[in-house]
Structure 1
Amino acid sequence: MKKRILAIISATTMVVSMLTGCSESQKEDYASENKKVAITLGMHVANVEEQEPVTADIIKAFEAANPDIVVEVKGNDKDEHVKKMKMAAQADELPDIFWMDASVAPELNEAGLLLDLNGFLKEYSEIGDALADNMKEASQAEDGAQYGLPYQSLVTGIWYNKALFEKCGLELPVNGTTFEELENMVKVFNENGITPIAQGAKDTYSIWAFLIAIERYGYFDKIDTILAGNEKFNNTEFLKFFEKLQILGRDGAFPSNAATMTYFQAKEAFLAEKTAMFDSGMWDAGELDKTMGVNTGFWWGPTFSDSDSPQTVKMKVSSAPLCVSKAVGEDKIKQEAVYKFLAFYYGEEAAKISYEGSIIPSTNYQVEVDLSEKPAFAAIVEALNAETWISPKAQPDLVLKEAVQAQLYDSIYGTMLGNYTPEEALDKIDIVLDQQ
């Protein structure tokens, strides 16, 4: 017997699964005799109620609006979740809907394991209209298959402490603040005994603001050519960017113990007002509202005068996708239930729940929410309202395979910490890319 990867599901769910291939009349008989259809949802956190409360609230609201459907959630920490989803894929035991790392989802699609959601977008056209093009394109295959939809918006940048800027006599950063102005901030903060930017290199993925910065050197103008083998990461423009990382590291922009610090420790240092800025994103808005409140500001990071690429880059892109098992499409009752859930998840009511929980949804619904008690979250909303600032099609790392992604992280932190020269850091990415 195959080992189950997910939690044991209810008898009702097993009955629904066994209905695959049954006649329409049998399915109708089942629907009339059983009040609930169960759908399984695999999540990248161990405790959805505590770690993803907005998602938990959306699920509760969906079940209240659809009493004939129950959503059974099983979560694990991210790395364990991805590992289990890979094992479940091999055993043909994927949950109906599941969060998946953006670098892994395309592989599952290529293996023929995911349901093409173009059918869902056609049936629920209002959802397609509510999702910006970059949100849909992030999980589209070359053949046009829609193998996933964004779990949430991924909004990243630099949080800053207004009080520390004012204490040191510095102007607050704004859209368009330059790298040279950032250099001066670093100098002044160090002179006042304040670490400029909180970074935790032990969690190598925590480089969000610097992923925005590399797009200001034409990342998405080059990456397809690079991945096709016709250009290298070690190119003139990317070298300029890595030289900026080297300058920041050399000038003391980061904690002296950044190499042994985690992302969570970096956040604690920022919350304790030991650092002036913090590389993070939307997910920390709620905590910042509780701790720093009106002293919290948000910024898209510096612009660069030595680049000819557009500088008005913000970051509102698709986070890792929600995917649907292809097996769902073989069961009419299950597919209908899954479609209803997705329609609710990407609907206007869920968008309102998201904003109320300090989460930017992936949809573009205009909902009225009182943000007067949420100054940190309001700062992000204000930054997003800069209409002339444009988001790329994806966060730069999310279009790379896992190994290349990991080396990009290592190369950026390695340059910041002085372990690699800019040239060495870029060459390391090219070596890994050549091995793919």
Structure 2
Amino acid sequence: MASLSRRLLLTATASALFVTATACGSAVNTADGSSSDGVITLSMHNPDSKTQDPATWQLVQEFNAEHPDMKIKLEGQPVDQHEQRMTIAAQSGTLPEIFWVYDSLAKTMVKSGDLLDLTPILEENGLKAKFAPSMLAGFQQGGMQYGVPYQALITGFYYNKAILDEHRIAVPETFEDLLAAVKKLKAAGVVPIAQGANNSSFSVWAFLTMLDRFGYEAEYPKILSGEARYDNADFLRLYEHVRELAEAGAFPANMNTQTYAQAVASYTAGKAAFLDAGVWEAAKIQQSEVGPSTGFWAGPTFSDGVGEQRLVMNVPSAPFVVSAKVKEDKEKYAAVKAFIQFYYSDAGQKILVDNAQPPVTTYRPQVDSTKNPVFAAVLAEAAKPGWTSPKAQPDLVVSAATASAMYDSFYGVMGGSLSPEEAAGNVQKTIK
């Protein structure tokens, strides 16, 4: 899920939709190996799933091999173009049979009657029992199960143990620990945290988790209803802490000009101590020169935070949804049902795990920590005793405009172009 420009690049997962309908209607790439005359189309948020989302690509290939009479055509575009294209397709009644979409847009489509209720499909063959309730609860509305989780989002900081050991820095636990580590690394000429804002402002996953440590999950429904404001005193304290990190030199000098992919490359080249990312980067990091010395950390706790501090982001990313029109075609409905059953079977979830993605069902993977220590470290952090997860990543429960403003607010404070008050105020302006 790496290009979670996806997700997410899950997620996760991007900027507000400022592309034209013409641009969105073009350049839809069909992934290598998919059927050009598939019974149904799976439309994704990656122009090249084979390299950017190999787990989904492999799942489709294996499904097609096992179901030659139900072949799936796999296609995709960059996330912002994909979102705009799905919006236009919903308006014109030309949605693909199954597709990835941000949850905020999915909820709008539910209100318009564009999506299929997946409850009957989940009730077949005991499929619903394979999910923890939290993995499905976020994609329900008005008694309807309109979506199923595409992948799981586990996010935080990767860290280079060799760099930390060289400078006699313990893996941080608290914000004070992180701030002290940043100052020590900066003084030694080491980039503390790899970040890249250029065309990838969504890459603030660890900071979104910090927002939950200041009460976001309990507060956001009131913020969206107008009972409370985003620029409240609690959230402002977090933004002040982000400014403290920035002033201590936490972020690279070229943060605003480098992309997220370049930030990842700087980490895998051993040029940064920490990387703000998620589980989708585990395989790439494992294969890099820093793989043997990489660990994973859920992020700092805050003495002045709000509510539970022992939080690790381990949530369903944006959902797969199905066009309501599928029910009108028995052949297409059968193909969609078969694919969903396959995707969430143990065999399907094993394909996710084999591609360094955590399962979204109760399937228990066997991960060899000697062969895949980075992926194993991510899973271990997500399952740390006494730690819990929010129900959803903060940007996935608001509109695209608000999510985009949230990303820009963090990068604005990191880069010094916005004060904490301006940053939080800009997010509030998008909430109507």
Please confirm whether the aligned pair reaches a TM-score higher than 0.5, indicating the same fold.
yes
What secondary structure does 2:117 align onto? coil
Aligned to 1:390: 388
The answer to whether the Cα contact below 8 Å between 1:159 and 1:280 also exists between their aligned partners in 2 is yes
> Is 1:111 aligned to 2:112, yes or no?
yes
CA distance in 1, matches of 2:275, 2:38: 44
Q: CA deviation at 1:160?
A: 0.6
What is aligned with 2:426? 428
1:347 aligns with 2:348: no
Match of 1:152 in 2: 151
**Any conservation in 2 of the 1:37–1:337 contact (CA below 8 Å)?**
no
Bigger drift between 233-242 and 177-186 goes to: 233-242
Provide the C-alpha distance between the structure 2 equivalents of 1:7 and 1:187, rounded to a whole number of angstroms.
45
- 1:28-427 equivalences under 5 Å are 38-124=39-125, 126-141=126-141, 143-173=142-172, 177-202=173-198, 203-291=200-288, 292-427=290-425
User: Is the contact made by 2:64 and 2:71 (CA closer than 8 Å) also made in structure 1?
Assistant: yes
When structure 1 is superposed on structure 2, of 222-231 and 305-314 the one drifting more is: 305-314
CA distance in 2 between counterparts of 1:432 and 1:49 reads: 36
2:193 maps to a residue whose letter is I
Over residues 380-400 of structure 1, what are the superposed CA-to-partner deviations in whole Å (9 max), with x where a residue is unaligned? 111122132111110001001
Other structure's SS at 1:41 match: strand
Cα distance in 2 for partners of 1:402, 1:7 equals 24
In structure 2, do the counterparts of structure 1 residues 415 and 37 end up closer, same or farther at CA, with 3 Å as the change threshold? Answer: closer
**Superposition deviation, residue 109 in structure 1:** 1.6
* Residue of structure 2 equivalent to 1:27: none
- Verify the 8 A CA contact 1:54 1:353 in the aligned structure 2: yes
Q: Deviations over 1:383-422 (max 9, x none)?
A: 1221321111100010010111111111111112222221
Aligned mates of 2:66, 2:348 — CA distance in 1 = 12
Aligned-partner Cα distance in 1 for 2:112–2:370: 48
Q: Distance in 2 between matches of 1:210 and 1:4?
A: 34
Q: What is the alpha-carbon distance in structure 2 between the residues aligned to residue 341 and residue 258 of structure 1?
A: 41
Is residue 4–residue 93 contact of structure 1 (8 Å, CA) maintained in 2?
Answer: no
Alpha-carbon deviation of 1:4?
Answer: 8.4
Secondary structure of the structure 2 residue equivalent to 1:259: coil
SS for the counterpart of 1:266 is: helix
Residues 121-178 of structure 1, C-alpha deviation per residue, up to 9 Å, x if partnerless?
Answer: 2224x3222222222122222x1221111110011110011110011011124xxx00
The CA deviation string for residues 74-93 of structure 1, in whole angstroms up to 9 with x for no partner, is 22222222222222222211
Q: In 1, distance between residues paired with 2:72 and 2:334?
A: 13
Q: Is the 8 A contact 1:37 1:334 kept in 2?
A: no
Q: Which consecutive unaligned segments of at least 5 residues does structure 1 have?
A: 15-35
Change (3 A) 1:371 1:55: farther
State the one-letter code of the partner of 1:100.
V
**Contact 2:29–2:48 (CA under 8 A) maintained in structure 1:** no
Mapped to 1, the partners of 2:155 and 2:241 lie a distance apart of 19
- Quote the Cα distance in structure 1 between the aligned partners of 2:25 and 2:164: 54
Q: Aligned to 2:127, what secondary structure does the other structure show? A: helix
Classify 1:80/1:308 alpha carbon distance in 2 versus 1 (closer, same or farther; 3 Å): closer
* Aligned-partner Cα distance in 2 for 1:196–1:7: 37
SS of residue matched to 1:231:
coil
Quote the offset at 1:39 in angstroms: 1.6
* Displacement after TM superposition at 1:226 (Å): 0.7
3-state SS in 1 of match to 2:50: helix
Q: Deviations over 1:358-381 (max 9, x none)?
A: 111211211324342212111111
Q: What does the per-residue CA deviation read over 1:41-98, in whole Å, with 9 as the maximum and x for residues that have no partner? A: 1111112222211112112222233333111112222222222222222221111111
Calculate percent identity across the aligned residue pairs. 40
Aligned to 1:23: none
Query: CA, structure 1 residues 182+271, in 2 after alignment: closer, same or farther (shift >3 Å)?
Result: same
On the 8 A contact 2:39/2:331 being kept in 1, the answer is no
**Corresponding residue SS for 2:267:** helix
Question: What number of residue pairs does the alignment pair up?
Answer: 402
SS in 2 for 1:307: coil
Structure 1 residue 37, shift from structure 2 partner: 7.5
How far residue 210 of structure 1 moved from its aligned partner, in angstroms, is: 0.4
One-letter amino acid matched to 1:53: P
CA deviations over 1:276-313 (Å, ceiling 9, x no partner): 00000111111101102221110000000112410110
8 Å CA contact 1:293–1:374 kept in 2: the answer is: no
Cα distance in 2 for partners of 1:256, 1:150 equals 37
